[in-house]
């Protein structure tokens, strides 16, 4: 591994030296490696493509380059507009449901296929293909096997197990009639604040490169074999090309300003091996490189990826990613297709995009040669995959064999991956392994949570709001530990116990998230459920403490490590909690090694092996075992952050504190007064009091007298940009209770750069209905403000509450989220 890492970091003999990008965002193909693509041109397929192109109408060709989300398209639409593909986004399932069982997926796949094959005059019939983010198993389907997320798999250092994981994922997808996955993710993360860190195998490009080929072959089969792309195999996608893991500040969809050499040797390290394994699809990345959006970067999508690296499949976009190209919008982007994108991912924008792309093809903005080239690339993959001959999805091999969804054999592979992914950071006082007969207490907010141990991209985009009933066959970590420990093992929801245990195992960690909703300002673990108090309590009582930490990135948890006798980084293990119990009870020793460097300070978010001044708490590759123990000792509890920085990311108010440089103000005309508890303003038209909900003074009570209009504004010290969150269907969530409401209008507003409040919703009736009924939650989509014309990139006060009537309302939390609990209607 070490030799591979050096080669990747320094480049290969014969490559030109690449410094910073010369022309803005333009790569030099001569600086990139020539890759040997094993997929030879097939004369029969090429002749058939030529025939099909000659028979297709321009309308049909345009349809082939567009992919729509099943939540926004019907089979009839697919027929009428000749769509080449559909996808299910993270929050889309058949029948408009949030999630669905396997038979409903197969039935829906049949419906879309039948629509694509229905006769339409003299036009040739071209089968539709269905893409899905099966990124840790077939994770959109109820009951599927859920593997550890990539960060955990990176800790295994086991490429051959990656091949098996690919095989299992492909089989479970085939059962449901789906034939294309948007995996593997080949990002090499360099700033751990990024919300997609857990989708990366490692900070080390050598690990990513070593996994790319075996996983692609597990999904697609080996080039030249009879089952390549057919039978139990599917089409795979290498993503996101290129630079997604190296954006400035770890900002999702941000700008990558690394040198071309760094882009090639670090960020693109996995693409050569994927191409050599026969990858048939590459997804363009959201990020920019030196200001040039990848969805419009011809030098990289065409000149490098195709011209130099010999990629022979088709390039698909990311979710409306083409709309971020300069001069484009989600419904119109000739520039992206001209740059080398072959298929637009236009989930909800597809219809208008079709109309505009057709017009651009007719007026020459998109040449017929370029359109034919894109269509040919899509047809080539469909022909290679046998879609023209394989019939409806339900008639294909494995379709409808639901016994294979989450089968014992598949779960055994996932359980092995869990065992090998666990990294032991600390084990003192012989806390581990656990022993049969010990009195074991299991506690923590992750002990019995399928959601926390599975993370984002699990049945929904964010992996939140899921009932336990949607995880049939899965095992929580707590359940597995209890089963292994026997009668003397108990699970305590609140951490209490009747009889003093010998050992307390506390399972806790990050709540699920995906993409930009997981972007954080630093690496401090913000412990919402105060698991640290539990650990300290047990230790003070003479109980051995074992911490099982669930996270999608390395985090600053020094206080938790100090309060634990043993500390295990379990990452996001997925559905098979039994793998954790196997290792904790000593049935297998710890094998996992850190795939990312572990920070000594919460400010060490750019911390990569080989960096100048490299000074981690636990270095890349660290990992103890029963056979090779080590001493950690007491750690510094100085996080390096300012006081009050412990609020969860995306939280504007909680635990009695405001976050993200926000404060409560009352606005009177053009003046604003900062509100302090027990201090009134403007003849006491609005007063604020510090009150208790779960902790002392963790909430704020706001009392409007009704004597005049009062605007409570959560105001920022500097303008806030919420445009990404608005596009991502994020809502403002408010936990509140109402002691008195008049029924008068109560407006939720937001204030932009011009300081004019813009209304999002009237919640007066909602608050009146909640009067005297205790704690409630309401959610308001950020899109309500955007629809009202507010520029969401320059918010001075992201949330305001305005009323002229009397109101007595207490708020304990204001945060961004996607739970949709108590969703209110836009004005």
Residues identified as active-site = 318, 515
3-state secondary structure of 795: strand
**Which neighbouring-strand residues pair with 624?**
424
CA distance 796 to 752: 5
CA distance 276 to 434: 45
SS3 letters for 437-466?
A: CCCEEEECCCCCCHHHHHCCCECECCCCCC
DSSP code, position 11: -
3-state secondary structure of 33: coil
In a 10 Å sphere around its CB, with 0-12 CB exposed, 13-18 middle and 19+ buried, how is residue 232 labelled? middle
Sheet hosting strand 423-427, strand order edge to edge: 423-427, 566-571, 544-550, 503-509, 440-443, 489-491
Contact 557, 203 (CB under 8 A): no
User: What are the structure tokens assigned to 488, written together?
Assistant: 């003397």
The beta strands (E) that lie in 205-364 are given as: 237-241, 255-256, 281-284, 288-289, 292-293, 314-316, 344-345
CA distance 224 to 609: 38
Output the CA–CA distances (angstroms, integers) from residue 716 to 520, 524, 720, 797, 823, in the order listed. Answer: 18, 22, 7, 6, 24
Backbone angles phi, psi at 385, to 5 degrees: -80, 0
**Which neighbouring-strand residues pair with 458?**
460
DSSP string, 290-317: TTEEGGG-HIIIIIITTTTT---SEEE-
CA angle 269, 234, 517 (to 5 degrees): 60
Map tokens 């806030």 to a residue. 720
Sheet hosting strand 344-345, strand order edge to edge: 180-181, 129-132, 85-88, 66-69, 344-345
3-state secondary structure of 524: strand
CA distance 411 to 403: 12
Q: ω into residue 240 within 30 of 0, thus cis?
A: yes
**Which neighbouring-strand residues pair with 653?**
658, 814
Contact 524, 602 (CB under 8 A): yes
Contact 582, 421 (CB under 8 A): no
Contact 382, 418 (CB under 8 A): no
CA distance 616 to 455: 25
Contact 463, 510 (CB under 8 A): no
Output the CA–CA distances (angstroms, integers) from residue 180 to 311, 649, 753, in the order listed. Answer: 17, 34, 44
Parallel/antiparallel/unpaired status of strands 776-781 and 292-293:
unpaired
Output the CA–CA distances (angstroms, integers) from residue 548 to 49, 218, 488, 805, in the order listed. Answer: 54, 31, 20, 50
User: What are the structure tokens assigned to 530, written together?
Assistant: 């105060």
CB-based contacts of 571, cutoff 8 Å, min separation 6: 148, 149, 151, 152, 155, 198, 421, 422, 550, 551, 552
């Amino acid at each position: 591994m070490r030799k591979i890492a050096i080669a990747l970091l320094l480049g290969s003999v014969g490559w030109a030296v690449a410094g910073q990008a010369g022309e803005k965002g333009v790569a030099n193909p001569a600086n990139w490696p020539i890759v040997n693509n094993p997929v030879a041109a097939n004369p029969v397929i090429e002749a058939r493509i030529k025939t099909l192109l000659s028979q297709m109408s321009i309308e049909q060709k345009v349809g082939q380059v567009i992919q729509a989300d099943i939540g926004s398209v019907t089979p009839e639409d697919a027929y009428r507009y000749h769509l080449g593909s559909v996808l299910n986004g993270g929050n889309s399932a058949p029948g408009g449901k949030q999630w669905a069982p396997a038979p409903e997926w197969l039935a829906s796949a049949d419906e879309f296929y039948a629509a694509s094959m229905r006769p339409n005059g003299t036009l040739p019939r071209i089968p539709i293909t269905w893409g899905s983010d099966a990124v840790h198993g077939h994770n959109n389907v109820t009951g599927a096997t859920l593997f550890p997320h990539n960060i955990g798999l990176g800790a295994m250092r086991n490429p051959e197990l990656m091949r098996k994981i690919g095989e299992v994922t492909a089989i479970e997808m085939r059962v449901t009639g789906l034939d294309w996955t948007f995996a593997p993710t080949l990002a090499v993360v360099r700033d751990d604040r990024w919300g997609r860190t857990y989708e990366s195998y490692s900070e080390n490009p050598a690990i990513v490169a070593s996994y790319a080929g075996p996983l692609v072959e597990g999904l697609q089969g080996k080039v030249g074999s009879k089952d390549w792309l057919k039978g139990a195999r599917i089409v795979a996608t290498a993503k996101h090309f290129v630079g997604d893991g190296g954006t400035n500040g770890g900002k999702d969809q941000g700008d990558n300003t690394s040198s071309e050499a760094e882009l090639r040797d670090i960020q693109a390290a996995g693409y050569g091996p994927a191409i050599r394994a026969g990858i048939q699809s590459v997804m363009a990345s959201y990020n920019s490189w030196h200001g040039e959006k990848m969805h419009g970067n011809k030098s990289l999508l065409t000149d490098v990826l195709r011209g130099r690296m010999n990629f022979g499949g088709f390039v698909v976009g990311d979710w409306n990613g083409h709309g971020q190209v300069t001069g484009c919008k989600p419904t119109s982007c000739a520039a992206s297709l001209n740059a080398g994108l072959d298929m637009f991912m236009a989930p909800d924008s597809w219809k208008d995009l079709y109309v505009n792309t057709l017009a651009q093809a007719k007026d020459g903005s998109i040449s017929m040669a370029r359109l034919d080239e894109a269509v040919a690339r899509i047809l080539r993959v469909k022909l290679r995959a046998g879609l023209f001959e394989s019939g409806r999805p339900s008639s294909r091999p494995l379709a409808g064999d639901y016994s294979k969804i989450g089968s014992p054999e598949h779960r055994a592979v996932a359980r092995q991956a869990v065992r090998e992914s666990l990294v032991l950071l600390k084990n003192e006082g012989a806390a581990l392994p656990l022993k049969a007969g010990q009195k074991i207490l299991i506690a923590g907010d992750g002990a019995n949570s399928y959601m926390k141990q599975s993370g984002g991209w699990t049945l929904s985009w964010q992996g939140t709001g899921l009932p336990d009933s949607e995880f049939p066959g899965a095992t929580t970590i707590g359940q597995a530990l209890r089963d292994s420990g026997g009668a003397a093992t108990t699970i305590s929801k609140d951490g209490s116990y009747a009889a003093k245990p010998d050992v307390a195992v506390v399972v806790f960690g990050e709540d699920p998230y995906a993409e930009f909703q997981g972007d954080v300002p630093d690496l401090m673990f913000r412990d919402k459920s105060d698991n640290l108090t539990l650990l300290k309590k047990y230790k003070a009582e003479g109980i051995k403490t074992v911490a099982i930490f669930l996270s999608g990135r390395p985090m600053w948890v020094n206080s938790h490590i100090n309060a634990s006798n043993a500390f295990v980084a379990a990452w996001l293990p997925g559905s098979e909690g039994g793998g954790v119990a196997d290792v904790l009870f000593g049935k297998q020793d710890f094998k996992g090694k850190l795939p990312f460097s572990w920070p000594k300070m919460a400010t060490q978010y750019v911390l990569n092996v080989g960096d100048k001044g490299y000074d981690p708490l636990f270095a890349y590759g660290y990992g103890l075992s029963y056979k090779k123990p080590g001493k950690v000792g007491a750690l510094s509890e100085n996080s390096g952050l300012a006081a009050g920085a412990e609020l969860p990311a995306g939280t504007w108010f909680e635990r009695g504190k405001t976050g993200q440089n926000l404060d409560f103000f009352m606005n009177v005309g053009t003046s604003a007064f900062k509100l302090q508890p027990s201090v009134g303003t403007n003849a006491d038209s609005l007063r604020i009091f510090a009150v208790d909900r779960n902790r002392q003074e963790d909430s704020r009570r706001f009392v409007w007298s009704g004597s005049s209009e009062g605007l409570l504004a959560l105001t920022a010290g500097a303008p806030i940009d919420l445009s990404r969150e608005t596009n991502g269907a994020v809502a403002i969530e408010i936990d509140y209770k109402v002691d008195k409401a008049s029924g008068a209008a109560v407006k939720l507003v937001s204030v932009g750069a011009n300081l004019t409040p813009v209304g999002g919703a009237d919640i007066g009736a909602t608050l009146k209905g909640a009067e005297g009924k205790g704690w409630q939650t309401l959610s308001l989509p950020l899109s309500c403000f955007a629809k009202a014309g507010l520029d969401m990139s320059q918010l001075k006060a992201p949330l305001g509450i305005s009323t002229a009537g009397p109101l007595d309302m207490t708020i304990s939390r204001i945060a961004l989220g996607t739970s949709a609990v108590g969703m209110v209607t836009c004005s």
